[in-house]
Amino acid sequence: MSPRQLKILLVEDDGRIREEVVDALHALSFSVDVAATLADARAAAQNDVDLILLDLGLPDGDGLDLCRGLRRAGRGVPIIILTARDSPDQRVRGLDVGADDYVVKPFHLPELMARVRTILRRAGRTVGAGVVHAGELWADPETRSAGLGDHKPLTLKPREFELLLFLLRNPGRPWTRAQLLDRVWGARFDGDDRTVDIHVRRLREKIEEEPARPRRLITEWGVGYRLEGEGA
């Protein structure tokens, strides 16, 4: 029997961050509930959720009040705080009221997803993301392995793997270089578009029979790059 779909409650009032985190969670096969205010978060937290991603600076109050209230009520649901408050005192305060982890904005999405998986495993919840495929091309986020079919493993550097994994989770859609920098490298990275081009070239050398004539990782002229879907 396959594991049940785990549910994440995302409490975040910034629409851009909310959209990006929801997309990343859906790509990992999580179900997601969303709240943009403290009042909505309190209501949503009454439902069965497996983990809460909690912003602190909400329009109608402090997210720490939700964390504190859940712990006082005996609720052990794992909580990861997402906040721009980056002083050591703020971190200690967040952990003292019962948060399981503390992530400072701007954060790197793959790192946040890794923290989500780690906290869920510690809580005894099965993370059923599994291997991601697009045609013969595949990657396993748990073992960080990748390959072409059953007989050609790929040797990838960490960032090459993260780029491939992101594209495998979002096949058929063109992504600009700026979007790939933001989603794969993170908002704190200060490189430029050439970083993406270099990593795409290296990936093509490993996943294409003819890297100069790619049929899997395609250039969308005037836009960016697209990974072909099931037919690749």
CA distance linking residue 188 with residue 83, whole number of Å? 15
Q: pLDDT tens digits, the chain, 232 residues: what are they?
A: 334 578 999 999 999 999 999 988 887 778 899 999 999 999 999 988 999 999 999 999 999 999 999 999 989 999 999 988 888 888 888 899 999 999 999 888 888 988 998 898 888 776 655 678 888 899 887 778 899 987 789 999 989 998 998 898 888 889 999 889 888 887 667 778 899 999 999 999 999 999 999 999 999 998 999 999 754 4
Residue 61 neighbours by CB under 8 Å, 6+ apart:
38, 39
Instruction: Specify whether 93 is located in the same domain as 139.
Output: no
Instruction: Specify whether 33 is located in the same domain as 99.
Output: yes
- pLDDT, position 40: 96
Q: What CATH number corresponds to the domain at position 144?
A: 1.10.10.10
Residue 220: inside a domain: yes
Instruction: Specify whether 99 is located in the same domain as 153.
Output: no
Instruction: Specify whether 18 is located in the same domain as 109.
Output: yes
- pLDDT, position 18: 92
Q: Quote the number of domains for the chain.
A: 2
Residue 1: inside a domain: no
Instruction: Specify whether 138 is located in the same domain as 118.
Output: no
- Cis upstream peptide for 171 (omega within 30°): no
- Domain holding 93, by residue range, is 7-122
Residue 26: inside a domain: yes
- pLDDT, position 42: 95
Comparing CA positions, the residue from 202, 197, 170, 194 lying closest to residue 183 is 170
